[in-house]
Amino acid sequence: MKSTAITPVTSVHVGFAGLRGDREWMVVDDEGAMVSARELPGLFGVRATPVAGCAGTGASVQLSAPGVPSYTVVASGGEVKATMFTRPPMTVQATEPEATQWLERVTGRPGLRLVWCAHPAERILNPEFSEPTDHAAFQDGYPVTIASLASLRQLNEWIEEAGGEAVEIDRFRPNIVIDGDAPFAEDDWRSVRIGGVRLRAAKPVDRCAMTLVDPTDLTRRNKEPIRTLSKHRKWDGKTWFCHHLIPDTEGEIRVGDPVHATTR
């Protein structure tokens, strides 16, 4: 579920729209516009777990949050339209009104609805970095985001040299985390193979203020990591960390799979 707590897994199916179960659900307002943790950081405290028997279908998910009873949502409503940023509307599937009540209890904001990505093929990606047949669910930009621990170590070295406190990789909410290459080697990737799955390198990820929120306690203590990224990883008026990928094949990936990259 978009903008909610991270759920680590040891294996996952990679489809053309992204990792199975990743950002297939989204909170919208009463006009169908996306609502994320940028506006409601408390969403980071919500955990979404696929219901047994429905895992991977997107049809049902259990929501839990501190201080409130858990709630199982079913995408049983009719089809409605939802929008992300300024992009064209997508056809999505609505959920029951009780989901609105649960979200209000957790966030304090009335009128929120939960929708499921029933038609990811409708999602239009930036044609500068994708093909017409590429698509995604409710990810901000592209189907998959990959992060490098080597790059994180370099970033944290810069932060600590300036007297700051190191950040964890969860700040960047990646789908896949790798280790073993040089810092920021991913900048030069053309493609990557993880296990038996091939993915194209689309572009680096431009980072927003969501990275300022520590997902472990939902606090925003300082301007890191954006402040340091602005000194070392800023071009075209944006700060960059992690990389967007687009799957060219589907398949299962697992923790410990070898990673093979080709460069530009």
Q: How many CB atoms lie within 10 A of CB 70?
A: 11
Assign 237 to helix, strand or coil.
Answer: coil
pLDDT at 55: 43
Q: How many CB atoms lie within 10 A of CB 258?
A: 8
List the single range of 56-60, 66-70, 217-221, 225-229 with lowest mean pLDDT. Answer: 56-60
What pTM was estimated for this model as a whole?
Answer: 0.93
Average pLDDT over all residues of the chain: 94
pLDDT at 53: 53
Residue 205 CB-half CA count within 13 A: 29
Q: Is the pLDDT of residue 77 over 90?
A: no
Rounded CA-CA distance 245/16 in Å is 11
Q: Which residue has the higher pLDDT, 86 or 186?
A: 186
**Quick one: which of 112, 105, 95 has its CA closest to 32?**
112
Long-range CB contacts (within 8 A, 24+) of 88-93:
88/124, 89/32, 90/117, 90/119, 90/122, 90/123, 91/118, 91/119, 91/122, 92/26, 92/116, 92/117, 92/118, 92/119, 93/118
Q: Is the pLDDT of residue 140 over 50?
A: yes
pLDDT tier at 219 (50, 70, 90 boundaries)? confident
Question: Domains (ranges, CATH) in the chain?
Answer: 21-122 (no CATH), 144-263 (2.40.33.20)
pLDDT at 221: 83
pLDDT tier at 52 (50, 70, 90 boundaries)? low
Q: Measured in Å, how far apart are the chain's first and last C-alpha atoms?
A: 33
Query: What's the whole-number mean pLDDT along residues 191-203?
Result: 98
pLDDT at 193: 98
pLDDT at 254: 98
Rounded CA-CA distance 173/221 in Å is 18
Q: Which residue has the higher pLDDT, 154 or 56?
A: 154
Rounded CA-CA distance 72/83 in Å is 24
Rounded CA-CA distance 96/213 in Å is 30
Q: Is the dihedral of CA 84, 24, 49, 99 positive or negative?
A: positive
List CB contacts of 163: < 8 A, sequence separation 6 or more: none
Rounded CA-CA distance 59/69 in Å is 20
Q: Is the pLDDT of residue 157 over 50?
A: yes
